[in-house]
Amino acid sequence: MKKILLALLALISVPPQSGAAAQPAGVECIVPSKPGGAMDLTCKLAQQGLNGLPGRPAGAMHISYLPGGIGAVAWHSLVSQRRAEPNTLVVFSGGSLLNLAQGKFGRATAGDVRWVAALGADYGMIAVRADSPYKTLGDLVAALRKQPDKVLVGVSGTIGSQDWLKIALVVKAAGVDPKVLRFVALEGGGEAFTAMHANHVQVVSGDASEATLYSAGGNTRVLAVLSERRLPGVLANVPTAREQGIDVVWPIIRGVWMGPQVAEGDYRKWVATFDRVLATPEFAQSRAAYGLYPFSLTGEALAAYVKKAVDDYGRRASELGLMR
């Protein structure tokens, strides 16, 4: 498993290619952030799943990167300019739905795009460098309580983003006012881990799938996972926040959507294709290697789930005073 994860880490560290000649014709999967984070992982998982289907040529999907506005640039690009492209998929996460609920995509609603497939579930986590003085979540909370100005927390997005909420809920549950924390807003989980390893920030509030990859390199210490129970695999020895006296759980859905005017037949084709992908044992193995956990929904069932999730996130954000 460690060799697989190291290989995946090497793969995700490769910068995106530029120029049309570098991109093979076929399906495009858009990552709405910079390379190296969990959004990138989701595209790579979709690519691997599709390439594994019988009769589908290797390399049939290519990945492109469209960061900006914590996902808003990719959203508006597809919704306003590329509405009917039949072979373009865009990655989303629970964080995307949270941003949508808070109005960070403007007047956009969950009904503005076509939801194709949920590929798996992830969980939040809190990490530091392997040489950090913080050995436990309690150590970190104590430092934030004593000298919050000395600890920079790297998050993907700005105040109100999913990564911001994770650490805010953790410290609030421990009796620390989230308003005293110093946050550094970054574009994606890969950039956050890069900043931490360069010591530009001391803590990353991010996702377990990202931590699974970066822990394989031996330079990251995960202090807590925000799951109901300990996760299997590389992070099996990492305690939950609950185990350490902080009752915070944060699950994350990951999947893909398409433009709103994609023809019904093309949309149905993609839903059926991902139904096939999700049913294969090979995909289950790939999903586990990427640090994700079973969660499979497609088509109308996914659209209904997304609508409810956006409504729920909106209520939670309103309670925290984050709604615009």
Write down the pLDDT at residue 229.
Answer: 93
Q: For the chain, which residues make up each domain, given as ranges? A: 2-14+25-121+251-319, 123-244
Q: What is the pLDDT of residues 214-230, one digit of tens each?
A: 887 889 999 999 999 99
Phi/psi at 302 (5° precision) = -70, -40
d(CA 246, CA 242): 5
Asked whether the domain spanning 123-244 has the same topology as the one spanning 2-14+25-121+251-319, the reply is yes
Examine the pLDDT at 111 and tell me if it is beyond 50: yes
Quickly state the pLDDT bin for 22 (edges 50, 70, 90): very low
Q: What is the pLDDT of residues 165-214, one digit of tens each?
A: 899 999 999 999 988 999 999 888 889 999 999 999 999 999 998 898 88
| pTM tops 0.85, yes or no | no
Based on C-alpha coordinates, what's the Rg of the chain? 19
Q: In the CATH hierarchy, which top-level class contains the domain 2-14+25-121+251-319?
A: alpha beta
Using alpha carbons, select from 28, 50, 38 the residue that is nearest to residue 274.
50
CATH fold of 123-244 reads D-Maltodextrin-Binding Protein; domain 2 (3.40.190)
Which residue is associated with the tokens 């629970």?
94
Which residue is associated with the tokens 């995909």?
283
Q: What is the pLDDT of residues 120-148, one digit of tens each?
A: 999 999 999 999 999 999 999 999 999 99
Write down the pLDDT at residue 58.
Answer: 53
Helix/strand/coil percentages in the chain, nearest 5? 45, 20, 35
| Average confidence score pLDDT of the chain | 87
Report, as an integer, the average pLDDT of 264-275. Answer: 96
Share of the chain above pLDDT 70, in %: 90
Quickly state the pLDDT bin for 18 (edges 50, 70, 90): very low
